[in-house]
């Protein structure tokens, strides 16, 4: 059930959207993040030589940034074997595990600075969070290379943590303030076979928010802040997704892992309940989550402002992880629908096509006079003091193939029909086409075998057709076409999805979007960008309820990208008084929309997703 990097070798993306991002990650993003970690002292911190007065004081979360880069390097090696990168990876791993203490502890900040404060502030100080990322990196390295030194080092760390935390007498009844270690321990369990790690993960999930509350009684943390840490009540009792969005998504991804591993129906129901609250009441049309910069958090149902949206890149990645786990456990199409929405929109908007600049937050609206605040910038940045998002892309992008298909020995489930090659000892399949800009997809059996093939029919698709060796076949109503048979080499399935631009309305309970609509074609959400619409106040743009759309190649964006042209209305800028009695003068204009994920790759610009409906 758990995503396994060893399957990366089985799935090779060949499409025009994801595959180029993977190559850019390998060539640019990962080397760039390594360089930034060197320049900012993140790597040097593992030498444990810092002393008072030196620059680049090791921060409490720096270890996690390095860990994510190492994890990304390992995952990337599976799809882009690179001896030079592998050599650099081994050097960095030696540097990291060289900082491990005799008892197994590994944290640069608390080894050289607050040496007497280990585990004294779990709600704020990120020790368990950093440990989790190091464990994930170790598992990824082991799965990529088969070498155990990093894995064994992180097992020693996990054993040390297991000796400290739990319900046994003498142990701390604590849990992480920033969740992440929960899903990492499940990965470590799979890589090692040591069930104690699964039990420790379950403890961290189940203990959270119980009474007496550890954060309140042991660390004097104010009760008012518990919701931001998802610690205001036991997880099984939570019905709404609250607090810090990234923390919540990582926690619930770990919750889903544990529900699947332990076959706990009540825990699975809890995970599904929280997922549905997220996507039915608190998710943006782009797949973004987290509607406020204050606490980087969820607020309440239907509170989804556009210009003030936070929609952190890491939170979108976290939602993808959560959705993928529930999809693999249940096989329900609803999770693939959300996963696809994230991947083609907010999941990619946070990183430039060049792979060297990043959005931390991803608002749905950016006007010409946007006021930058917190981590919400009007243009992508090369780096941040808190650079969780750039380093997260290092490890997220190599795994895009695992989000598109699940290839087991006796079954193949294609969730997102991007062009790809899927090769296993038991069978080989080639998926061709130009999805998501063209709805005709070919699925050809390159090596026959006895297995079940399932192909998803997206919920956004109003009309579709499936042909098996040229003959139409029926589709069930569960969102998948499935056929179990002895497939012959040369067999071919043709999936035809009608891609039609649509005007999409938010639930009327979303105050920010009442009287407005967005444009979507297939899974791709579109936006107006001032680059394509010069001289127009984008926030004044109006769209007809039933516009006529024309497709054309998007200018200055990757080959195959489709732009949408339609007639609308807008106000042109003027030098009039700030207030007056004359209404704005609207005029007919041709508007051009491009995929939101690709905005601001042609220079700084204004952007608008939701348009007034005339």
Q: Is 527 among the catalytic positions?
A: no
Q: Say if residues 496 and 465 touch (Cβ distance below 8 Å).
A: yes
Same domain, yes or no, for 118 and 206?
yes
Assigned token pair, 575: 């030098």
pLDDT in tens, 211-242: 999 999 999 999 999 999 999 999 999 999 99
Instruction: With CA atoms as reference, report the closest residue to 185 among 207, 214, 159, 164.
Output: 159
- Same domain? For 387 and 446 the reply is no
| CATH classification of the domain holding 168 | 1.50.10
The residue among 404, 419, 447 that closes a domain is 404
For 363-401, the pLDDT digits (tens) are: 999 987 777 777 889 999 999 999 999 999 999 999 999
556: left (phi over 0), alpha (psi -120 to 50) or beta: left
Q: Residue holding tokens 């743009």?
A: 541
CATH number, domain containing residue 491: 2.60.40.1180
Q: How far apart are CA 364 and CA 323, in angstroms?
A: 22
Q: How far is CA 207 from the centre of its chain?
A: 26
Q: Could you tell me if 591 and 578 lie in one domain?
A: yes
Contact between 572 and 504 (Cβ < 8 Å): no
- Furthest C-alpha separation in the chain: 76
492/473 Cα distance (integer angstroms): 12
Q: Are residues 414 and 449 in the same domain?
A: yes
Distances (CA, A) of 574 to 103, 537, 543, 571, 577: 69, 10, 21, 9, 9
Tokens of 484: 């179990």
- Rounded Cα gap, residues 216 and 173, in angstroms: 12
- Does one domain contain both 470 and 341? no
C-alpha span between 162 and 146 (Å, rounded): 25
Chosen domain end from 479, 497, 515: 497
- Concatenating the DSSP letter of every residue in 564-593 gives EEEEEEEEPP----SS-SSPP-EEEEEEEE
| Same domain membership, residue 206 and residue 59 | yes
Q: Are 134 and 96 in contact (CB under 8 A)?
A: yes
Which runs of E-coded beta strand occur in 477-609? 480-487, 492-497, 501-504, 516-521, 524-529, 542-543, 550-553, 562-571, 586-595, 607-608
Distances (CA, A) of 483 to 255, 330, 411: 31, 18, 10
Q: Catalytic residue, from 270, 388, 389, 527: name it.
A: 388
Distance CA 140, CA 211 (A): 36
Residues 285 and 329 in one domain: yes
pTM for the model: 0.98
Interatomic CA distance for residues 253 and 249, integer angstroms: 6
* Active-site annotation holds for 296: yes
Which is catalytic among the residues 179, 180, 207, 296?
A: 296
Q: What SS3 state is found at 351?
A: strand
Provide the edge-to-edge strand list for the sheet that holds 411-414. 405-408, 411-414, 449-456, 480-487
pLDDT in tens, 293-335: 999 999 999 999 999 999 999 999 999 999 999 999 999 999 9
On whether both 117 and 152 belong to a single domain, the answer is: yes
- The DSSP-derived string for 30-56 is HHHHHHHHHHTTTTGGGG----TT-SS
Give the separation between CA 471 and CA 507, rounded to whole angstroms. Answer: 40
Q: How many domains does the chain have?
A: 3
- Give me the pLDDT at residue 1, please: 57
Task: Classify each residue of 177-191 as buried b or exposed e, where b means 16 or more C-beta atoms within 10 Å of its C-beta.
Answer: bbbbbbbbbbbbbbb
Measured distance CA(247)–CA(319) in Å, rounded: 11
**Same domain for 594 and 542?**
yes
One domain for residues 265 and 350? yes
pLDDT of residue 443: 99
* DSSP code for 174: -
Q: Are residues 271 and 395 in the same domain?
A: yes
Strands ordered across the beta sheet of 420-423: 11-13, 420-423, 428-432, 440-447, 492-497, 464-468, 471-472
Beta carbons within 8 Å of 238's beta carbon, 6+ residues apart: 209, 230, 270, 274
CB 58 within 8 A of CB 108: yes
* Residue 223 tokens, joined: 């009760």
For residues 66 and 92, membership in a common domain is answered with yes
**Residue 422 · residue 428 · CB < 8 Å:** yes
Which is nearest to 31 in space by CA: 64, 76, 62, 63? 76
In angstroms, the CA 71 to CA 186 distance is 16
Calpha distance 362→236 (Å, rounded): 31
What's the first-to-final CA gap in the chain, in angstroms?
Answer: 48
Distances (CA, A) of 126 to 57, 109, 169, 289, 333: 16, 10, 24, 22, 35
Domain extent, residue 238, equals: 5-404
Location of structure tokens 């919400």: 376
* Residue 273, CB-side half-sphere exposure with 13 Å CA sphere: 14
What is the structure's pLDDT at 572?
81
- Cα-Cα-Cα-Cα torsion 467, 469, 471, 477, nearest 10 degrees, comes to -40
Closest CA to 396 of 131, 68, 6: 68
Residue 365 belongs to what H/E stretch? strand 365-366
Per the CB < 8 A criterion, the answer to whether 378 and 357 are in contact is no
Exposure of 578 in the CB half-sphere (CA atoms within 13 A): 0
Give me the pLDDT at residue 374, please.
Answer: 76
Q: What is the reported pLDDT for 475?
A: 85
pLDDT-flagged residues of the chain (< 50):
none
Distance between CA atoms of residues 506 and 497, nearest Å: 24
Final residue of a domain: which of 388, 404, 420?
A: 404
């Amino acid at each position: 059930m758990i995503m396994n990097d060893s399957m990366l070798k089985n799935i090779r993306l060949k499409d025009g959207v994801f595959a180029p991002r993977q190559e850019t990650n390998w060539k640019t993003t990962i080397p760039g993040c390594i360089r930034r970690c060197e320049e900012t002292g993140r790597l040097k911190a593992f030498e444990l030589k810092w002393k008072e007065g030196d620059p680049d004081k090791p921060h409490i979360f720096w270890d996690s940034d390095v860990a994510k880069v190492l994890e990304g390097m390992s995952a990337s090696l599976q799809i882009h074997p690179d001896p030079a990168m592998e050599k650099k990876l081994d050097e960095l791993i030696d540097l990291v595990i060289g900082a491990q203490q005799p008892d197994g502890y590994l944290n640069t900040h608390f080894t050289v600075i607050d040496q007497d404060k280990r585990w004294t502030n779990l709600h704020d100080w990120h020790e368990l969070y950093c440990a989790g990322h190091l464990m994930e990196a170790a598992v990824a390295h082991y799965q990529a290379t088969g070498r155990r030194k990093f894995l064994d080092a992180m097992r020693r760390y996990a054993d040390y943590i297991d000796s400290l935390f739990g319900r046994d007498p003498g142990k701390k009844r604590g849990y992480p303030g920033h969740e992440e270690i929960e899903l990492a321990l499940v990965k470590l369990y799979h890589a090692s076979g040591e069930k104690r790690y699964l039990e420790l993960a379950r403890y961290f999930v189940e203990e959270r928010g119980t009474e007496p509350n550890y954060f309140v009684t042991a660390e004097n943390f104010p009760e008012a802040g518990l919701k931001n840490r998802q610690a205001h009540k036991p997880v099984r009792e939570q019905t709404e997704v609250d607090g810090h969005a990234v923390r919540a998504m990582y926690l619930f991804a770990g919750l889903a892992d544990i529900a699947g591993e332990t076959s706990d129906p009540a825990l699975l129901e809890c995970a599904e309940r929280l997922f549905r609250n997220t996507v039915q009441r608190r998710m943006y049309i782009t797949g973004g989550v987290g509607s406020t910069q204050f606490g980087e958090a969820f607020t309440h149902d239907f509170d989804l402002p556009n210009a003030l949206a936070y929609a952190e890149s890491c939170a979108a990645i976290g939602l993808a992880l959560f959705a993928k786990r529930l999809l693999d456990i249940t096989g329900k199409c609803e999770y693939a629908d959300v996963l696809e929405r994230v991947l083609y929109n907010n999941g990619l908007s946070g990183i430039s096509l060049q792979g060297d600049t990043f959005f931390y937050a991803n608002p749905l609206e950016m006007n010409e006079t946007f006021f930058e605040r917190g981590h919400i910038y009007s243009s992508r940045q090369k780096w941040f003091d808190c650079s969780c998002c750039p380093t997260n892309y290092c490890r997220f992008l190599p795994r895009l193939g695992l989000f598109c298909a699940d290839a087991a020995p006796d079954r193949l489930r294609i969730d997102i029909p991007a062009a790809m090659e899927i090769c296993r000892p038991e069978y080989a399949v080639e998926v061709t086409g130009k999805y998501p800009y063209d709805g005709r997809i070919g699925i050809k059996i390159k090596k026959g075998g006895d297995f079940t093939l399932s192909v998803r029919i997206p919920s956004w698709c109003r009309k579709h057709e499936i042909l098996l060796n040229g003959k139409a076949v029926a589709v069930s109503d569960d969102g998948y076409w499935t056929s179990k048979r002895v497939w012959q080499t040369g067999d071919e399935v043709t999936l035809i999805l009608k891609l039609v631009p649509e005007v999409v309305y938010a639930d009327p309970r979303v105050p920010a979007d009442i009287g407005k609509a967005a444009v979507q074609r297939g899974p791709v959400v579109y936006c107006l960008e001032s680059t394509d619409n010069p001289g127009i106040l984008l926030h004044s743009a109006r769209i007809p309820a039933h516009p006529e759309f024309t497709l054309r190649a998007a200018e200055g964006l990757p080959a195959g990208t489709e732009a949408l042209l339609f007639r609308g209305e807008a106000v042109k800028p003027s030098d009039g008084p700030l207030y007056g009695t004359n209404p704005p003068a609207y005029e007919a204009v041709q508007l051009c929309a491009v995929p939101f994920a690709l905005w601001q790759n042609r220079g700084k610009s204004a952007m608008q997703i939701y348009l007034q409906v005339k």
